[in-house]
Structure 1
Amino acid sequence: MAPRNAPTGRQRRLAVEMRRLREQAGISIQEAAAMLAADRTMISNIEAGRTGLSEERVRQLACHYKCPDTALIDALAAMAGGRRTRPWWDEYRGKLPDGHLDVSEIEHYATRIRTAQTVHVPGLFQTEDHARAIFEFTVPKLPRLEVELRVAHRMGRQTVITGDDPKPYTGIIHEAALRLEFGGRDVARKQLNYLAEAADRANVTLRVIPFSAGGFPGADQSILYAEGPVPQVDTVHLDTALGAQFINAPTPLANYRALLDLMESSALPPDASQSFIRSIARDL
């Protein structure tokens, strides 16, 4: 199979997991290549995401590596064969930074999504006007066309919550994010009402950490945790000043699961959170 020019985030993730399987088996690149009657360049390209993998080849390598975890093998095989048609976010390729598209991809394939936001309303629940106001504050200032492309892309992402197969979602939001009036008072009021209405969805749980809760773990972070069919293929996305950062190593993943649990323990229950959001909207 010919090398790829630019593997997607999901393809890179599959490559990382295949390398982990090989290394856990104590097998060298040269030995793995010999098992496939190939040269070491092929294995190197597979483990860098430059060469695609079929479901059959994933299972073949997992067998050679003597991986006993059938659930993990099934998940990796699905990652190899899951992309049959061109996804909607591909229309933005070359128009937006790749990190934006990688977020769309991990959300699309997630089995459950958890987020924590301390400054912004979660992107999956932003109105167009609210999202546009946020992007207009980007430094350096974005051209109008790119602002509109980012807004359209953000609206497209929301189908994972509102579409035919909605993902289970739990969002933790600090009160500060609810009180920042991006776009002015009218835009902020409509945003909060939309957020409160979204909490009525069966697949959505929103929990607010009020100022009265004081300090809490993770107060300085914006976290998106996308669960996979098995924990080994979970992914964390951090939205940083330097761009998107993706985390998939086992120990950091476990730490972020624990961190989100702690943040939830500082938050109001779902019903009280929904009432809290509506009360802020009424005060505007």
Structure 2
Amino acid sequence: MAPTSRPPTVRQRRLGAELRRLRERTDMSATEAGTHFGASQSRVSSIEAGRYAVSADRVRALASLYNCGDQELIEALTQMTGRQTRGWWEQDREVLPTGLLDLAELEHHATFVRVATMVHIPGLLQTRDHARALFDSTVPPPPAHEVEHRLSYRIKRQGILHGEDPTPFTAIIHEAALHLEYGGPAVARAQLRHLIDMSERDNINVVVIPFGAGPLPGSGQPIDYFGGSVPQLDTVSLDTDLGAQLLDATAHLAKYRSVLERFESYALKQDASRDLIHHIARSI
């Protein structure tokens, strides 16, 4: 067990948070856990904050101390241990916000991704020109070099949808997002055609909530749901003006699973959704 020399990754923070949850369910203090564990209270706290790398054997020992009998969860936690190789996104740590790095890491490790958007095309399905128009519409607009950096980063993130083992991806998009002509008619048409092309991939499901579908739950903010190796390790990301808000409490996961199911129940089936996108593209 050793201190991390760099800020903890989102997975290291999540591992620590799960170990803290297991401890708290036993009503055991960090000091008591440290006594049984042969470590100080501050060391236990550092582990739970993701600041210390912990081995798979240590995770199993802590799970036993905390009377955790969920073997699938324990083994999933052991896969998150140690000095893991940092992903490609780490090269951008000095120039991009931590929240964007967390997003790429969550996407990379997700067993599936589900998103719901009301007024935007999901980032993983955006063309470069559409994304550029979005960045240019930001208030205040970012410098040109930052736009180019974020564009390249967004395209790299889209790599999870391609390759030999692409991530299953479901996008639930409100019809309103399809009518907003970011970048002008030509860019908008190209974006919609790209959306149709991507929806024809075996791992991608794109469905559209049409106008008049009825009252929708939530505030309209984009929702990203990342599947973990076990359901307890799922993560929700809510997009806000101040960056992504990550949620992983059991109650939050249950809530947003229900919200996404509600959204999808209002949406057209995939073929009908594709037809609607075609129709809108022809009308631009």
Scaled to the shorter chain, the TM-score interval is over 0.9
Shift of 1:206: 0.7
Give the letter for the 1:121 counterpart: I
Equivalent residues in 2 for 1:1-284, closer than 5 Å: 1-81=2-82, 84-218=84-218, 220-284=220-284
Shift of 1:243: 1.3
Separation in 2, partners of 1:53, 1:135: 39
SS in structure 2 opposite 1:80? coil
Q: Which runs of 5+ in 2 are unaligned?
A: none
Q: Which moved more, 1:31-40 or 1:249-258?
A: 31-40
Separation in 2, partners of 1:113, 1:187: 26
SS in structure 1 opposite 2:52? coil
Separation in 2, partners of 1:273, 1:169: 16
Separation in 2, partners of 1:216, 1:3: 43
What do residues 87-125 of structure 1 show as CA deviations (whole Å, max 9, x unaligned)?
111111111101001000111111111000001101011
Give yes or no for contact 1:4–1:51 (8 Å, CA) kept in 2.
Answer: no
Shift of 1:164: 2.6
- TM-score norm. by structure 2 comes to 0.96
SS in structure 1 opposite 2:246? strand
Shift of 1:4: 4.3
SS in structure 2 opposite 1:254? helix
Separation in 2, partners of 1:55, 1:116: 35
SS in structure 1 opposite 2:90? helix
Divergent runs of 4+, >6 A:
none
Shift of 1:3: 4.5
- TM-score norm. by structure 1 comes to 0.96
Shift of 1:218: 3.1
Q: Which moved more, 1:190-199 or 1:56-65?
A: 56-65
Separation in 2, partners of 1:60, 1:276: 54
Separation in 1, partners of 2:225, 2:174: 17
Separation in 2, partners of 1:24, 1:113: 29
Distance 1:95 1:134, change over 3 A: same
Separation in 1, partners of 2:8, 2:37: 22
Separation in 1, partners of 2:131, 2:167: 21
Shift of 1:41: 1.1
How many residues are paired up? Answer: 283
Give yes or no for contact 2:174–2:208 (8 Å, CA) kept in 1.
Answer: yes
Give the letter for the 2:153 counterpart: H
Give the letter for the 1:23 counterpart: E
SS in structure 1 opposite 2:202? coil
Q: Which moved more, 1:29-38 or 1:98-107?
A: 29-38
Give yes or no for contact 2:118–2:176 (8 Å, CA) kept in 1.
Answer: yes
Separation in 2, partners of 1:243, 1:84: 25
Give the letter for the 1:98 counterpart: T
Separation in 1, partners of 2:174, 2:188: 15
Distance 1:4 1:20, change over 3 A: farther
Separation in 2, partners of 1:218, 1:210: 17
Shift of 1:34: 1.4
Give yes or no for contact 1:46–1:52 (8 Å, CA) kept in 2.
Answer: yes
Separation in 2, partners of 1:238, 1:175: 20
Give the letter for the 1:68 counterpart: G
Give yes or no for contact 2:161–2:169 (8 Å, CA) kept in 1.
Answer: yes
Separation in 1, partners of 2:38, 2:65: 12
Give yes or no for contact 2:113–2:224 (8 Å, CA) kept in 1.
Answer: yes
Separation in 2, partners of 1:276, 1:4: 51
Shift of 1:2: 2.2
